[in-house]
Each structure stands twice: as structure tokens, then as C-alpha cells.
Structure 1
Amino acid sequence: MNNTLHEVFSQPATWRQTESLTGDARRELAAPGERMLVLGCGTSWFVAQSIAELRESAGLGETDAVCASEYVPRRHYDRIVAITRSGTSTEVLDALRRVPAGVRRVAVTAVRGEPVDGLTDARLVLDFADERSVVQTRFPTSVLVTVLRAYGKGGERVVADGEAALAASLPADPGDVDHLVFLGTGWTVGLAHEAALKVREAAQAHAESYPALDFRHGPVAVAGPRTLVWSLGDVPESLDETARAAGAIVYRDDRHPLAQLVLAQRFALALAAHRGLDPDRPRLLTRSVVLAAR
């Protein structure tokens, strides 16, 4: 078993451990009534998108999500939260340096003692969810379980469904698929983006992701018999017929959306194995993007 697969299968256990962080997460990530911005790069940006939707839908306050490299301090925020597994990503650190004085800066990370510590007022450290792998799996999902608990959206169902997703059959034979489309709605749009990224990173395969109803506004044109259209969360069932009409394989299930993401991670690794790739050594990628001084 490679490191990445081991970390995928460890997720229900790390999700249970997030319960110990609920109080700190409520204090730093709920902050009722404040205007909040959540920053990240890659996987962390998609996690930020999900957090922003979850926080607003919980009635906790206006929340935006921005790719850290695109952050420009134009709008006023009371609090800026940076998601960074390593605490070393250059674009995240640069964004935090641009935050105006008086704004509370919070890091959600997996490692202590890294440069992000000196740029933030508070840290939420999920060291039990840190990973050896370049391809992130259990850290981002553990962050989201932490957020779900902090926002009063539960935690026990997701653990049980996560365990079920580890035992479930894959939705298709990886040998029959060379194009994946992940669809989400609300907070699961971020999960759809993350699922597609896992396929690109681990299996070097063609994977797309969209807000569900946008699938009919162009993306369906490239779907065909070797396409797997995968819905995450409460996606309208009418889209299944749209995908089938294009000849695509369709998949959805009733498990918690994070458990559905676990199954997508498993599929990405199975597709990598089918293609003879080692997901522990993804092409052109490193654990953290650290750029030379500019």
C-alpha cells in the first residue's frame, strides 16, 4: 500500500480526532457576525470555497473565498483564514503579508513552527491529519469535518459514511474511463473541484468540475462513452439523463458528500494504478509550492 492510499483509508480515524478541536474551531472559524475571507492554493482553495458556503448557509456572516495568489486587499474583512497544510506555501504567506492592520489572521495547518506562524494571530493545528504524500487527502477532509462540527452540522454520520465508502465498490472499471466530470452544488462545488484535482494529480487524467447545472451550458459537449459523470451532494437527478444522453456513465450515491469524496479519491488512485503511475510521486508536483525570492 502506497502512502497516499494509506492516508485515504485513515480518514475516518482522523475525522474522529477532529472532535477535540471543536471549541477552538468555533472560536476562530465561526466568529458569528464577522465578515470573513478564506484563502488557500490548490486543494486548500477548494476547501476555502466549501467553508465559505457552509459558513454563510449557517447564518454566521458574509464569507468569501479567494485563491491566495489573487488576494488584493480591496474589501474590508474582520478576519482572514488561511488554509495551508505545510505552512510554507509562498502565495499564502505573501497574501498574509498584504492583510491590512487590525484584521485577525488565522491559519489552519498541519505543522507547527513553520513561517505561517509568524504571520498569524492564531493557529488551528491538525497535526494528526498531516500527510507524507504530495497529493492531499485526509488533511482537507479533516479540515472540513472540523468546520462541520464547529458550525453545528454534525460529525457522526460523516464518519460512518466514510467507513462505508472505504468498503464500497468503485462506480466503474478504471479501464473503461478516461474522462471524468464531477458536479456539485452549494458547498459541494468545492468538493467537485477537489475530486477532479485528485484525478489530475494522481492519475494524470482528464478531469473537469462544475456547479451542477452548468454542465448543460457547454461541458456536456465533450462527454461520451468513456466519460464518468459523478455527482457530489444534492445534485438534480435531471442531469443524470443529460449525461446518459451523451453516452456517459453516471454515478451518484446517498452517502455524506465527504464520504463521496473519499470514494472519488479511491477511484483516482485506482485509475493511477491502471495507468502504471505511482501516486506518491505525482508528475511535476511537490508537497508545498515554495518559490524563489522575486
Structure 2
Amino acid sequence: MTTTAPVRADETATHREILQQPDSWQRLVASLDDRRAELDAFLQPLLADPELRIVLTGAGTSAFVGDIASVDLRRHLGRRVESIATTDVVADPHGSLGAPGRVLLVSFARSGNSPESVAATRVVDDVAPDTHHLVVTCDPSGSLAREHRGQDRSFVLEMPPETNDTGFAMTSSFSTMLLAVLLAFRPELASGTGALVAAARTIAGLEARIASLAEGTERVVYLGSGALQGLARESALKLLELTAGGVVSFFDTPLGFRHGPKAVAGTHTLVIVYGSADPYTARYDADILRELRGDGAVRVVSVGGDADDERSFPLDDLAGLDDALRSVALVGFAQLLALATSVAHGCTPDNPFPGGTVNRVVQGVTIHDHREGAVRP
């Protein structure tokens, strides 16, 4: 009888791809500098139209890039910026898009080979014929990149090649695409890259402490407001994926958590609150931390907020940055916790579903013709 040796976190591709992120961000900044004139020539005429609608889209983790970035871009561009998942666009184009008008569709994809990736761009072209496409992808040979490369109304922005993660879960692909879209529209944010790199390396140095949080944990809740809500959602998914559903995870906002979802909090629940950089929003983070710690039934950890007690991970390197940009580095905390929890539960992080019930690139989706039998406005 043979037994399989337990997997070590630091021997996985997932671990390598988490730790490579600071170097990938620096390579991204250099490549964007090289293409800035070309990118601006594509974007600036579109942004000159005050009626332009910017829609950020992707599936799963790629959709959460849009959830985070849309909050920041709405505020700083002063225009209509929305995050609508490709899965919603494909399944219900008229309901999800409404009267789209003139659209810049920003598509995020690690490989671009998921069935909805190309389908969503085609559906939006049908519904809004004056659509332009900014494709942000980690695989230049993927279906999405091939579909749009060289097209008059498209611009393909390729990430550093190593960010096409070979592990099951999106790690460096997520953070690098998020940084890319923020820099594409707000190039001045490049000055914060050094702080992101420093914070990511600080988080890597806390790996053992982060891993200790996995002990005795059966459920994990991530809470965050504004852009950090999208980060909370991605963090919860990472844990669910890498443990193959063995650890149930949830996400919410600090205010929303009280409205029913707080029922999940119990003795074996870990609650992680992402602290906002906005002083007003941070008051609500402090309130929920105080309340949950007063309840005494759950373990509560603050990440990225003030150092309110020994359970905090304040990450001072990120001081002065907005929450969307901070999310680029903060996600490393969730990635390392998910990896450690996966190993603790006997999973294989690089392939947590060896039976193929869930796949690195989604399979089994049939794309139907949205023009057949559609209920139109």
C-alpha cells in the first residue's frame, strides 16, 4: 500500500505565482510606458465623449477586477463606469445592459478561452454597434486576444507572460490585470507601484502568521466596503476554490453583514475585515470589529486598517493609496491564507478538483444565439 506525501505550500506553482506578483507589476509598468502613446491614442478620443459608457467585464475572478476598478474609475473619471460580468451579459444582454448607448467594453481574462469571453464581446457588438473594446489578458494566444487583435475598434493589452497562471486559481493574473486597468485610465497611479511592491513583500514575510489563521477554521467571512467589497468577494472565492469547497467562505460589507448574514458567525468562523483608507468609511470598519469582538464567538482580524490590536495586519506600506490600488497588494493576504488552508485540508492547491468537476478554464457552456426568442424592449 502506498500513500501520497502531503503537499507543501512552498512547492506549488500557486505559491510561486503569489510571490512573483511584485516583479510582474514592475514589468507591467514598464510595458505600459512603452505602449502609452498607442494606448492614449485609442482611449482619449473615446473619453472625449461625455456620454461614453465604460463597462468592465469578465467571469469569476476576472469579473471581480471590474467590481474593484469600477468604484475607483467612477469617482476619478466622473462618468458612467459599471462592472457587469460576462456571464450576465451572455445570459441576459438586454436586462444587464439596458439601453447601452456608446460603449467601451473592457474585458478581463486570464486565458480568454472561457466560452463567455468572446461571446460577451460579440453580444455587446450586436446590442451596441458603436462599441469599442479594450482587452486585458494574460494569454496573447487566447481566443479573446486573437478575436480582437488588429481590429479597428479594439486594443489588446497583454500582461507579462508569467501572469498566465498555471495553477488552478487566478493569483498574479488577478492583481496584474487590476493594476493594468487602473493605470490605463489613471497613469498617475504608477507612482504608487513601489508602495505596492513593498506591501506585497511585507505580506510574504507574514506567511507563517497568516497560515496560522487556518487552524480550526471551518468558515471564513471577508468584509469590505466600496472597492474593498470586490476584494472581499475575490478573497472568499479564492478560499472556496483552493479548498475544493471544504471551507465555506462568504463576503459582505461591514454594514450589510448585520442584515442576516451575521448568522454565519460562530465558534469556528474567522472574520476578516479589510480596513478602508477613507476615514469616513473606516469608521464602519471599526464599528463591526468592535461589535464582533464584543460578541466573543468569532475570531476577527483586521487587514489594511489601523493597528487596533495584536490581531491586526495594518500594512503601513499602503498609507496614502486609494482602496482600489491598495487591493492590488492586499489580495496577497487572502491568496496566502487560501493556500495554507488548502494544504491544511489535504487538498492539492494547483489542482484542487482532480476529478475535473471544476476546471481552470470553464467547460461545458453552450453559447446560444441571443437573437433567437429574445424578449426585447
Is the Cα–Cα contact under 8 Å of residues 64 and 230 in structure 2 kept in the other structure?
A: yes
1:285 paired with 2:345, answer: no
Query: How has the CA–CA distance of structure 1 residues 12 and 241 changed in structure 2, closer, same or farther, with 3 Å as cutoff?
Result: same
The alpha carbon displacement at 1:57 in A equals 1.8
Pick one of 262, 273, 276 that aligns with 2:346.
276
Decide whether aligned partners of structure 1 residues 118 and 10 sit closer, same or farther in structure 2, where only a CA change above 3 A counts: closer
Match of 1:185 in 2: 225
* Among candidates 45, 61, 66, match of residue 79 of structure 2: 61
Measured on the aligned residues, the alpha-carbon RMSD in Å equals: 2.1
For the residue of structure 1 that corresponds to 2:297, the secondary structure is coil
> Which of 242, 245, 248 is the matching residue for 2:298?
248
Aligned 1:46-85 pairs, distance under 5 A: 46-71=64-89, 72=93, 73-74=97-98, 75-85=100-110
C-alpha spacing 1:82/1:95, structure 2 compared with 1 (3 Å) = same
1:61 shift after superposition? 2.2
User: What is the match of residue 264 of structure 1?
Assistant: 334
Gaps of at least 5 residues in structure 1 are none
| Alignment CA distance shift 1:89-1:106 (3 Å) | same
Which has the larger displacement, 108-117 or 171-180? 171-180
Aligned-partner residue type, residue 88 of structure 2: E
Distance 1:271 1:115, change over 3 A: same
| Counterpart residue number, 1:36 | 54
Q: Distance in 2 between matches of 1:226 and 1:182?
A: 14
CA distance in 1, matches of 2:264, 2:142: 43
- State whether residues 88 and 290 of structure 1, in contact with CA within 8 Å, keep that contact through their aligned partners in structure 2: no
TM-score (norm 2): 0.73
Could you tell which deviates more after superposition, 270-279 or 32-41?
32-41
Q: What code does the residue aligned with 2:64 have?
A: F
The one-letter amino acid paired with 2:135 is A
Distance 2:267 2:362 in 1: 36
**Cα distance in 1 for residues equivalent to 2:274 and 2:43:** 24
Of 205, 210, 229, the residue aligned with 2:271 is 229
Asked if 1:156 is matched to 2:194, the reply is: yes
Q: 1:36 to 1:113 in 2, by over 3 A?
A: same
Three-state SS of the structure 1 residue aligned to 2:334 is helix
Q: Secondary structure at the match of 2:332?
A: helix
Q: Residue deviations 1:235-258, cap 9 Å, x none?
A: 521111222215111111333433
1:213 equivalenced with 2:255 (yes/no): yes
Q: Does 1:129 align with 2:163?
A: yes
Question: Any residues of structure 2 matched to 1:104-143 within 5 Å, and which?
Answer: 104-120=132-148, 121-126=154-159, 127-143=161-177
Q: What displacement does 1:89 show? A: 1.0
Secondary structure (helix, strand or coil) at the match of 2:72 reads: helix
Deviates more, 1:185-194 or 1:283-292: 283-292
TM-score (norm 1): 0.92
**Does the 8 Å CA contact 2:175/2:329 hold for their aligned counterparts?**
no
Whole-angstrom CA distance in 2 between matches of 1:254 and 1:211: 19
Corresponding residue pairs, total: 294
Report the counterpart of residue 322 of structure 2 in structure 1: none
Alpha-carbon distance, 1:67 to partner? 1.3
Distance 1:101 1:291, change over 3 A: farther
Q: In 1, are the aligned partners of 2:241 and 2:352 still within 8 Å (CA)?
A: yes
Q: Which amino acid aligns with 1:68?
A: T
* Partner SS, residue 82 of structure 1: strand
